[in-house]
A and B are shown apart, each in its own frame.
Chain A
Amino acid sequence: MKGRLRVLRAERGWTQERLAVAVGVSRQAINALEAERHEPSLDLAYRIAAAFDLAVEDVFANPHREGTTP
């Protein structure tokens, strides 16, 4: 699932560690999400979107809906 996680995090100057603590996962999980080695669960996608104060589809592209590049 493509997303803007790395860009959004960099825009805020957050480290992977900081985002990981904010959403309650390991730094490895954030790294895997950014490298597209992990598809987030719906719950994790919501938690990450909430950390950025954005909607889920502003962070992760909906692969089942056209024209939803985040």
Chain B
Amino acid sequence: MHDGWPQSRPYLLSALGLWAFFLLTIALMAWGRQHGQFPAPALWGLALLPAASVALQFALAYRLIARQDEYIRAIIAKRMIAATGLTITVAVLVGVAMQFLGVPLVPMWLVYPVFWGAFGIVTPFIRTSRL
């Protein structure tokens, strides 16, 4: 029985497009900084783009979820809460380790793919809307 993410072709295509855009802007930022191609104001402008793609992705996900029935809405909300908790837990652990334990710096933008990874991890375990 499939009761995972709601299936929607327009959503899937827009999500894939936004993921590609997100990764492209990160790659462009890395390349621009390495080669000194962009002035600082341009880099700041470029830095807004991956953040904007994340905001748009969540807005689209919210709109898709809002159109589902009460059961699907409930289990996805539970999964998102669990994934958020897992992501923040990992982020705090890594943040503390970076600051106090000399662990190499990890890019903060990784929190976005980590969140969706966490969502995938918790999904098989949350299959009821009941508490």
Contact = CB atoms under 8 A, between A and B. Distances in A.
Interface residues of A, number: 15
B128 interface: yes
Interface residues of B, number: 13
A49 to B, nearest CB: 16
B128 A38 contact: yes
A28 B75 CA distance: 11
A10 interface: no
Contacts of A33: 71
A36 B12 CA distance: 30
Contacts of B2: 28
A48 B128 CA distance: 19
A29 B68 CA distance: 10
> Per DSSP, are chain B's interface residues mostly helix, strand or loop, or mixed?
loop
A11 to B, nearest CB: 22
Nearest to B6: A26
Contacts of B68: 26
A37 B126 CA distance: 10
Interface of B: 1-3, 68-72, 74, 127-130
Given A32-B71, A32-B129, 13 more contacts: A25-B69, A25-B71, A26-B71, A28-B3, A29-B70, A32-B127, A33-B71, A36-B130, A37-B128, A38-B128, A39-B130, A41-B70, A44-B70
